[in-house]
Amino acid sequence: MTALTIRDVPDDQIQTLKVRAAQAGKSLQAFMQELIARETSKPTMAEMMNRLNREATATISTADVLAAIDEGRAGR
């Protein structure tokens, strides 16, 4: 596992993170690891758009749709 150092974090932000970690019953390190894990598990907007494009792309032609309609009508 890699160590991560973040420089020049304002004191008020560090204090807020420490308070939030304490409220969650965690050390600052555990709290930050959870925050990083949560953030990196969310897909980016670009990743979501690519996924939606893949899932929304139809490989069904108009002829396929019309054939299915005709087949459904014939079964009545």
pLDDT in tens, 51-73: 988 888 778 888 999 999 999 99
Task: Spell out the domain ranges in the chain.
Answer: 11-74
pLDDT of residue 59: 81
Q: For the whole model, what pTM was predicted?
A: 0.61
b/e per residue 27-48 (b: at least 16 CB within 10 A): eeeebeeeeeeeeeeeeeeeee
Task: Say if CB 15 and CB 4 are below 8 A apart.
Answer: no
